[in-house]
Structure 1
Amino acid sequence: MNLLKRIFNRKIVISVFLLLIIGGFLFYKSLKPTYNGELDLKGISESVTVYFDEVGVPHINANNNIDAYTALGYVHAQDRLWQMELIRRIASGRLAEVFGKDMVRVDKFFSGLGIEEAGAKNIERANKSSESYKMALAYLNGINQFIENGPTPIEFYLVGVDKEEYTLKDIYNVFGYMAFSFAVAHRTDPMLTEVKEKLGENYLQELIGAEYSNLTLIKNQQNPELKADFAGAINDIMDKLPVSPFIGSNSWVIGGQKTKTGKVLFANDPHIGYSQPSVWYQSHIKTPSYEMYGFNLALTPFPLLGHNREYAYGMTMFENDDVDFYIEENSEKDDMYYKTKEGLKKYNLIDKRIKIKNEPDTTYQIKVSQHGPIMNGLIEHLEDSRPIAMQWIYTKIENDLLEASYRLSHSKSLSQFKEGAAMLHAPGLNVMYGDSKNNIAWFASGKLYKYRDSLYTKVFLDGASGKDEIIEYLDFKENPQAINPDWNYVYSANNQPDTIAGILYPGYYLPEDRARRIENLLDAKDDFSKEDVAKMIYDVTSVTAPEIIKSWLAHVDKSNLTPSEAKAMNILKEWDGYFGKDEIGPVLYNRMWYEFAKNTFKDEMGKAFNLFMNTPFEEKVVAAHVKREESVWWDDVKTTDKKETKKDIIIKSYKNAIAFLQNQLGENVDDWKWKRVASVEHEHAIGKAGGVLREIFNVGPFETVGGDQVINNHIYKIDSTGYYKTHAGPSTRRVIDFSDIENSITVIPTGQSGNVLSPYYKDQAEKYLNGAFVKMKLNQEEIESSKSVLIFKPN
C-alpha cells in the first residue's frame, strides 16, 4: 500500500512538473509576435495583407490609407508596445509608476516643461476632418486593438504594470519629448551664467569666442525646382531615461552631376541615444494612392525618415537655440507676482501629481510666468535664489508636428515638401531631400527669431525690464536652406549654418569635425556610386584630431620625457585620426583631451566643470583653446607660487595622461589599443537591472570602431574613468540610390522588433557593427515571395 502511494505521489509530481513545462512553453509561445496567419481587425473596410521580409519589416498592402494605417498600428504595437509605453510616460511624468521613487526627479522635470499642456492645445485646435487627423486615429485604433486582443509583452509582467489604451495625447507627448531632444541649453546656460557672474567678463569672452572660430559653414543657396521627369543633474536625468534622446546626425544628398549614374544619391544617419529596442520602426505602406518606405518613432503614425520611387527625405538636428532662461523679479510684497515692463503680473499655478510604485503619491506645484515654467527645483543643479523661467519655442507658439510629419511623408513635389518643412517650429531640424528628377535640397526648419543687437542669449536674460524679449520672428524664407546649389550637393553635420538675416544664427552647433570630413570627401569625387556612399557613412577618420595633437606636442620637449612618454609621443605624431579597434592613437588622444580640459578649466569652474564637459560647447572651446597662446584660463588659481602658462598646462596634461594609461592598461604602450577601452551595449530598460536580465534583454557589449565626431559617430563621455562606453550613435544608416531605387540599403543597431522572443530582436547587430546593410525592398514580386504573411480581415 505504501509502495502504491509512493508511486502514485511520484506520478502526481511528474505530472505537475510536465504540466508546468507544457504550460510555460505555451505561455512563452503566446508572447511572440504574430507574423503568419489571419487576424480580425475592426475599422478596416477590406482585407489587408502584410508581408514580413527577412529582417521583420512589414510591407503593408491595402486598398485605402485608413486600412493601411490601422494595420500599421497593430503590427507596430506587437513589435514595440513596451517602447510605446515608456515613451508616452516620459513627457507626462509617469515613469515612477513603473520604476519607483528613483524616477521621481525625472518625472518632475519632464512634467514641468509644459509638454502636456502644449499638446492639449494642439489637439483642441486640430482640424478633425484632415487626413492627418483621421489617419492618426486609425493608427491608434490598430494599437488599441493589439492591446485588447494581442499578447501582453513580457516586460509588463515583469514590472507589474497594466496595459492602457492610447490616445492622441500620447502621440503629442512623444512629439514633445522629441522636441526637447537634448538638454544642452539646460547644462550650458547655467554654467556660462556662473562663469560670467563669479569669474567675470574676461573669462566668459574667451569661452564664447570659441563659438565663432574653427567653423565649417553650411552654405545657403536657393535655385529653382527641376520639373522634368518627376519620379549634472541633467546628465543624471538623461542617463536614467529608458528611451533614447535625439543628439546629432549626418546627412548628405549628392546631385546627379556628381554621381556615376547621373541620378541622386541620398544618405542619412541620425544620431540618437542607443537603447534596446532601437529607436526606429521600419514599415512599407502601399495603397492605390500612396507608397512610402518609412522609419517611425514609437507612437508616431507618419515617418520622419522615408523614401519611395519619387523622393527621399531625412533629418538631422538643427541645433538652433530655441530655449532661453529668464531671471524673473518677484514683487517685494507678494511672491505670487513678478515684475514686467507692463507692471506686475501674477504667476499661473499648475498642480502636478506623480504616482510612485509601492509608495504614496507625491504632489508639487509649478509657477509659470509669461516666459514659461520656473525651473528652480525642477533642475537640481540650478542653485540660484532668483526665480529662473524657461522659455521654449515648442510650448510658446503653435506647433503642429502631426500635420507637419504627414505633409513631409505625403508630398507630391519639392514645393509641397518645402511647405511641410516650413511647418516645423520645434524642434529645429535640418530636413534633407532628394528626388528622381535630380532635385536636391536642405531646409533648416524651425521658428527662428531675433533679439536686440549684441544680446548674448546663452546666459540668463532679464525677465523684468522688457529689454531682452524677442523682437521679431523670421519668415521661413530667411531660414538657412539650399536648393539645387551650384556645388551639386547638400549636407548637414549639425554644424553652424552660414549667415542668415545678417547674423550667424545662435545655437548649440557641434564642432566642425564631421562637417569638414564630409566636405573633403564630397569635394574629392564627381563619380559617386552607392558603394562609395555606403563606405563613407561608415568612415571613422577625424580630420581635426591630428591638428589638435600637433598643437599640443609643439609645447612638449621630447628630451625631458621617459621612454614610454617618448614612444607615446611618436605614436601620436604619426596617428592619422583613424579610430580603428587596434589603434593606439585614439586612447592617447582622448585621455590627453580630458587632462587638458581638466587642467585648464576645472580650477576656476569648480562644480560647473561637470556641466561644461561633454557638451558641443566644450568640444568647440577646447579645440579653439589649443591654439590660444595667451589666456586667463591658463593660470591654476589653486597654486600661489607661480603663474602657469600654456606650456605648463600641456606638459602636466601629457605626463598625467601617460601615467594614467600606464596604471590603467600596463607599462607596454603597444598594448594600449582602442578596443580595450571602447565598447558599445544597447541597454533595455529591464536589462539595466543587471544580472540575468542584462543577459536576456540587452544587446552587447561589443568591441567597436569609431570615435566621437567622426562620420560613424560613436558618442561617449570623456571623463576620469578612461573608458569610453558608447551611449549614442547612428540610429540607422540609409543609402538611397535613385538609379536603382529597389536596391537601396539600410541597417539599424539591433533589430526591427522590441519583443525579446522575436527572431528580429537583434539580428542586425553584427551587420551594423561591421558596416553591412540590408535591402529596403520596394519590388512587389520580391516582397510577395516572403515566407511570413499576415492577413487582416475586416471584423
Structure 2
Amino acid sequence: MALIFRWLVRLASALIFLTVAAVVLAYYFASRSLPDYSAENEVSGISAPVEIVRDNANVPHIFGQNDADVYFGLGYAHAQDRLWQMTMLRRTAQGRLSELFGTRTVPIDEVLRRFDIYTLAVSSFNAQDDQTKAALRAYSAGVNAWLAEVNEGALGRGAPEMWLFNHAIARWEPADSIAILKLMALQLTSHLDNEVLRARTSLLIENERLRDIMPDDPTDGVAALPEYAELIPGVPDFTPNTHMAFQSISPVKRGPLAGASNAWAANAARSATGATLLANDPHLELTAPSIWYLARLELSTGGVIGGTIPGMPIVLSGRSADLGWGVTTAYVDDQDILIEEVNPANPNEYRDVTGWVPFRTRDSIITVRDAPAVTLRLRWTANGPVMPANQFNLGTITPPGHVTSIAWSALSDRDPSMSSAMAIMRARTVREAIAAGEDYIAPAQNLTVADRNRIAMKTVGALPARDENHQSQGRLPSYGYLPENRWQGRFPYSDNPEFVDPDGGIIGNTNNKTIDRPFPLHVSHHWGDTQRINRWRRLMQARNVHTRDSFIEAQLDTVSFAARTLLTLMGADLWYTGDPAPDGTPERRRQIALDLLSAWNGEMNEHLPEPLIYAAWVREFQKRLIRDELGPLAPEFTHADPVFIERVFRDIDGASVWCDIIQSAPVETCTDIARQALDEALIWIAENHGEAIEAVRWGDAHQATHDHPVLGNTPLLNWVVNIRQSTSGGDHTLQRGKTAGTGVAPFQNVHAAGYRGVYDFADPDSSVFVTATGQSGHPLSRYYDNLGELWRRGEYIPMSLDPDLARAAAVGISVLRPAN
C-alpha cells in the first residue's frame, strides 16, 4: 500500500510539474509577441525619423517629417497591437478563412468570393487620388516593417493566436485597406436580410398585416430640431408615442445586429461656452479586442485624433484643431435582390432585357485546412453577382428555374470612398468636409460635422437611382430582366439629405429616418431606429444650452422611451386589478411585478429588476402574438418591435387581430395575451435568475459580451480572451446595448458603442473619448482591457493634441529611423 501511495504521489507530482511547465512554456511563447513600446529600430520605407509616443492609455501619438512617414507610423503601431485582427479582416475580405479554420468557415468564404470584394478592392486602388495612394503605400510599408521585425527577431509569430493557427502572413498591400472598408459596408447593411424576410413573411400573411409586423417608420423624419423658443415650456418627461403610422467571425449580420450609431452637434447659440459641440458613438458588434483603436496623427494639415480601425489609415470619427466629425449608419437602401430567369435550354444563360445572354463566369478555388479544396463557379449578371439558394435564405423566395443576383452599391471596381474619407479627415471647415464626401460610395453614412462656427449633417454614400415604376420600390425581390427594376446609376450628390446650420441650433441622428421624401428619392423604406430619437429629442430640447457634460449625459442615458410607451398599453387593464393572492402563487408574483413596473421610470439600470421584467414581458408578448400566424417563421423575429406592439394595442388598421389565437375557439383580447405573457416571463425569470423577483438584476442578464471572435468559445482560453461586464441600457436606449435576442441568454449585450467621443471646440483639448476594451489585441498585455472598465462606468480619457501632455506620462516612446 505504501508503495502504491508513493507512486501515486510521484505521478501526481509529475502531472503537476508537466502542467506548470506547459503553462510556463505557453506563457513564454505567447509573451514573445508583446511589443516593446520604447524600442528604437531602423526600418526601410521612411525618409526621416518617426516618433510614436504612447500616452498613459497606450494611445499612440505619431510624429514624422511628412505625411507619408506619419501613415507609416500608424501602420506600424496598428500591426504592433492588432496584427491578428488585421490579418483576420483581410482574410475575411479575401474569402480565405478556411485555410486556417477548415470546413466550418467555408460558407463565409463562399459569400465573400461571390461578392468578389477583394478583386473589386484591387481594381479600386487606381480610383484613389494621389495623396491617398501615397498614404496607402506608406501605411502598408509600416505594417510590413513590423512584420519584418517579427520575423527577424522571432517575436512570437506576431500574435499569440498565430501559435494555434500558424500560417504565413503575406505582405500588406494598399488594396487590403480598401477591402476592409468594403467589408465594413457588408457588415453595416441590413437591406438584403430585410428584403428576404419581408418576402418570406408576405407569403404567409396578407399585406395589411405585413405592415404591422414589419412597419414603416411612422415619423416624418428628424434631423434638425426646431428653435427652442418654439417649444411649449414645462413639457413633462413622459410622452406616449402617438404616431400611427452566423458565426461571430462572419461579417454578415442579421438585420437587428447591423450597424447603428448616435451623433449630434450643437452650434454656438445652443452651447454654454459659445462654441460648437459634437458627440458620436458608433455601434458595432462587441468583440475582444474592440474593432476600434485610438490614435493621433500629426499631419502637414495639423493634428488629427480619434477612432481608427486597424487595417485602414483613416480616423473615422474624431477631430482636428478646427473640425470634428462623426458617423452614423445612414440605412440608405443600397441593396436589391433581382430574380433572374435561367434559360431552360441552356443553364449558362439568363434572360436579359434584350433576350438570353450568357452569365459572366469565373472559377475560384477555396483552400480548406485538413479537407479537399472547394471549387466555386462564380456567376454575374448585368445586375450583380449570383448568390446560391443556400445563402441568405434566398432559396425560400426564389421560384424554380430562376436564380438571384444582388445589386449593391459597394460592388464598384472604381470606388474612391477611401480617398473621400481621407479628404474628410483633412478638411478644416464644415463646407470642406461636405464637399469631400461627394465621391464616397459605401458604406453609406450620415456624416455629422462641426467646425468652430458651424454644424451640419450630410448623407455620404451612393443613392441608387431606381425607376419610379419599379415593381417593388426595392422592398421585395423583383425580376431582373424588366428594365424598370434595374438601377439607373446613382442620384447626384446634391440629392443626398443635407442639413446645415439649422435655426434650432441642434442636429443629430440615431439611425432614424432623416427625411420624408417620396420614392425614388426616399433614401430608404427601412430604418434602424424609431425609439431612441424620441428620447434624444427630449434631452436636447430640455435645456436651452448644452455643455460637453450634457452631451456625455445624453450619450450615457439609459431611459427607454419604448418601455414608457409600451408599459402604459400592456398594463392598462392589469394595474391594481388583481385579487389578493398568497405568496408563491403565479397571481402573487404577477402583482409584485406589476407593482414594481408601475413605479418604474423606464431607466434600464443594470442594478434594477424592472428592466429584466419589462424585457422578458415584451419578448414573450410578441412571441405569443406572432407564433400562430407565422408558424416556423416566427423565430426570425428575434427582437420585440415597439411600433408593431403599439399598433396592436391601439388597433391601428385592425392590428389587434394579432391578439386572437387562430387555433382556439375563444376570441382572446390583448389584455389576455399580456397577462399570459407576463406570467410566462416571470416563470422564465425564476428559472434563469431566481425566484425573488425584487432581487434580480438587469445587469446579470445584460452582460456585455466582448468575446474573442475565434477563441471565445474555446474552453479555458475563453477565460483569458473574453471580457464580460454587467451593463445598463437596452435595445432602445441612447446608451444602446442591443440584446442577442436568441439562445439561452437572449438579453446579453452583444452590440453597442465600441467608441465614444465628445468634442468641445470651446477648449478642444478638453474633448474626451474611450473604447470598449483596450488598445492591445494581445490577451497578456495590460492594455488588452485597460479602457473597458472606464467604458462600462461611463468614463472617458482626455482627447488632447498637446504633445507635451502625451509625453508627460508616456508608457513608451518608439523611434523609427531610416535604414542605411
State the TM-score, normalized to the length of structure 2. Answer: 0.87
Indicate the larger mover: 578-587 or 383-392: 383-392
Q: RMSD of the alignment, in Å?
A: 2.8
Residue type of the partner of 2:357? Answer: K
Matches within 5 A, 1:565-644: 565-614=590-639, 618=641, 620-628=643-651, 630-631=654-655, 634=658, 639-644=663-668
* Equivalent residue number for residue 125 of structure 2: 123
SS at match of 1:332: coil
Matches within 5 A, 1:271-290: 271-290=283-302
Q: Is the 8 A contact 1:193 1:459 kept in 2?
A: yes
* Equivalent residue number for residue 425 of structure 1: 441
Rounded Cα–Cα distance in structure 2 between residues aligned with 1:138 and 1:34: 22
Q: Select which of 697, 715, 732 maps to 1:673.
A: 697
SS at match of 1:345: strand
Residue type of the partner of 1:755? Answer: H
* Equivalent residue number for residue 334 of structure 1: 346
User: Cα offset for 1:397?
Assistant: 7.3
Q: Is the 8 A contact 2:469 2:484 kept in 1?
A: no
Matches within 5 A, 1:196-235: 196-208=202-214, 210-213=215-218, 217-219=222-224
Rounded Cα–Cα distance in structure 2 between residues aligned with 1:376 and 1:220: 45
Residue type of the partner of 2:706? Answer: H
Residue type of the partner of 1:340? Answer: D
Q: Is the 8 A contact 2:221 2:516 kept in 1?
A: no
Rounded Cα–Cα distance in structure 1 between residues aligned with 2:570 and 2:558: 22
Q: Select which of 737, 740, 748 maps to 2:771.
A: 748
Q: Select which of 478, 485, 492 maps to 1:475.
A: 492
* Equivalent residue number for residue 87 of structure 1: 89
* Equivalent residue number for residue 236 of structure 2: none
Q: Is the 8 A contact 2:318 2:757 kept in 1?
A: no
User: Cα offset for 1:70?
Assistant: 1.1
Give a deviation string over 1:416-470, Cα, whole Å, max 9, x none: 211222222221101110112x111111112113332574422111222223223
* CA 1:723–1:288: 2 relative to 1, 3 Å: closer
* CA 1:738–1:636: 2 relative to 1, 3 Å: same
Q: Is the 8 A contact 2:303 2:801 kept in 1?
A: no
Q: Select which of 250, 259, 264 maps to 1:247.
A: 259
Rounded Cα–Cα distance in structure 2 between residues aligned with 1:213 and 1:360: 52
Matches within 5 A, 1:338-353: 338-353=350-365
Q: Do residues 392 (structure 1) and 394 (structure 2) align? A: no
Q: Is the 8 A contact 2:467 2:485 kept in 1?
A: yes
Give a deviation string over 1:78-126, Cα, whole Å, max 9, x none: 1111010111111221111122211111111222123123223312444
Give a deviation string over 1:110-161, Cα, whole Å, max 9, x none: 221231232233124445xx01101110000010111111322111112222
SS at match of 2:476: coil
User: Cα offset for 1:610?
Assistant: 2.9
Q: Do residues 537 (structure 1) and 550 (structure 2) align? A: no
* Equivalent residue number for residue 760 of structure 1: 783
* Equivalent residue number for residue 313 of structure 1: 325
Q: Is the 8 A contact 1:216 1:515 kept in 2?
A: no
* Equivalent residue number for residue 230 of structure 1: none
Rounded Cα–Cα distance in structure 2 between residues aligned with 1:574 and 1:183: 39
Rounded Cα–Cα distance in structure 2 between residues aligned with 1:661 and 1:17: 40
Matches within 5 A, 1:43-192: 43-127=45-129, 130-150=130-150, 151=155, 152-182=158-188, 184-192=190-198
Q: Select which of 718, 730, 734 maps to 2:757.
A: 734
* Equivalent residue number for residue 664 of structure 1: 688
* Equivalent residue number for residue 684 of structure 1: 708
Give a deviation string over 1:701-760, Cα, whole Å, max 9, x none: 221111112111101123474641111101111111111111211111110111223321
Residue type of the partner of 1:757? Answer: L
User: Cα offset for 1:168?
Assistant: 2.1
* CA 1:632–1:91: 2 relative to 1, 3 Å: farther
Q: Structure 2: which 5+ runs fail to align?
A: 1-17, 227-245, 580-586
Indicate the larger mover: 594-603 or 72-81: 594-603
Rounded Cα–Cα distance in structure 2 between residues aligned with 1:304 and 1:78: 20
SS at match of 1:609: helix
Give a deviation string over 1:507-537, Cα, whole Å, max 9, x none: 4312322111111111111232222222221
Q: Is the 8 A contact 2:266 2:506 kept in 1?
A: yes
Give a deviation string over 1:558-605, Cα, whole Å, max 9, x none: 545612112212222222110112222211211122112111222222
User: Cα offset for 1:202?
Assistant: 3.2
* Equivalent residue number for residue 802 of structure 2: 779
SS at match of 2:748: strand
Q: Is the 8 A contact 1:478 1:501 kept in 2?
A: no
Q: Is the 8 A contact 2:30 2:159 kept in 1?
A: no
Give a deviation string over 1:668-705, Cα, whole Å, max 9, x none: 32123212322112111343133221122222x22111
Q: Is the 8 A contact 2:266 2:455 kept in 1?
A: yes
Q: Is the 8 A contact 1:450 1:470 kept in 2?
A: yes
Residue type of the partner of 1:774? Answer: I
Rounded Cα–Cα distance in structure 1 between residues aligned with 2:616 and 2:280: 30
Rounded Cα–Cα distance in structure 1 between residues aligned with 2:575 and 2:812: 66
Rounded Cα–Cα distance in structure 2 between residues aligned with 1:113 and 1:28: 36
Q: Select which of 447, 458, 470 maps to 1:443.
A: 458
Q: Is the 8 A contact 1:108 1:378 kept in 2?
A: no
Rounded Cα–Cα distance in structure 2 between residues aligned with 1:557 and 1:47: 71
Matches within 5 A, 1:15-26: none
Rounded Cα–Cα distance in structure 2 between residues aligned with 1:351 and 1:280: 35
* CA 1:593–1:22: 2 relative to 1, 3 Å: closer
Residue type of the partner of 1:181? Answer: Q
* Equivalent residue number for residue 416 of structure 1: 432
* Equivalent residue number for residue 504 of structure 2: 487
Number of equivalences: 760
Rounded Cα–Cα distance in structure 1 between residues aligned with 2:132 and 2:364: 31
Rounded Cα–Cα distance in structure 2 between residues aligned with 1:537 and 1:349: 49
* CA 1:275–1:614: 2 relative to 1, 3 Å: same
Q: Is the 8 A contact 2:52 2:61 kept in 1?
A: yes
Residue type of the partner of 1:653? Answer: A
* CA 1:686–1:204: 2 relative to 1, 3 Å: closer
* CA 1:165–1:673: 2 relative to 1, 3 Å: same
* CA 1:763–1:787: 2 relative to 1, 3 Å: closer
User: Cα offset for 1:661?
Assistant: 2.5
* Equivalent residue number for residue 225 of structure 1: none
* CA 1:663–1:621: 2 relative to 1, 3 Å: same
Rounded Cα–Cα distance in structure 1 between residues aligned with 2:690 and 2:159: 46
SS at match of 2:485: coil
Residue type of the partner of 1:533? Answer: F
Rounded Cα–Cα distance in structure 1 between residues aligned with 2:568 and 2:220: 19
Q: Is the 8 A contact 2:338 2:383 kept in 1?
A: yes
User: Cα offset for 1:250?
Assistant: 0.4
Matches within 5 A, 1:546-565: 546-556=564-574, 559=577, 562-565=587-590
Rounded Cα–Cα distance in structure 1 between residues aligned with 2:566 and 2:354: 51
Q: Structure 1: which 5+ runs fail to align?
A: 1-15, 222-235
Q: Is the 8 A contact 2:552 2:758 kept in 1?
A: yes
* Equivalent residue number for residue 717 of structure 1: 740
Q: Is the 8 A contact 2:193 2:392 kept in 1?
A: no
SS at match of 1:706: coil
* CA 1:447–1:633: 2 relative to 1, 3 Å: farther
Residue type of the partner of 2:626? Answer: F
SS at match of 1:691: coil
User: Cα offset for 1:664?
Assistant: 3.2
User: Cα offset for 1:212?
Assistant: 3.5
Residue type of the partner of 2:555? Answer: I
User: Cα offset for 1:39?
Assistant: 0.7
Rounded Cα–Cα distance in structure 1 between residues aligned with 2:726 and 2:276: 34
* Equivalent residue number for residue 233 of structure 1: none
* CA 1:522–1:640: 2 relative to 1, 3 Å: closer
Rounded Cα–Cα distance in structure 2 between residues aligned with 1:19 and 1:553: 61
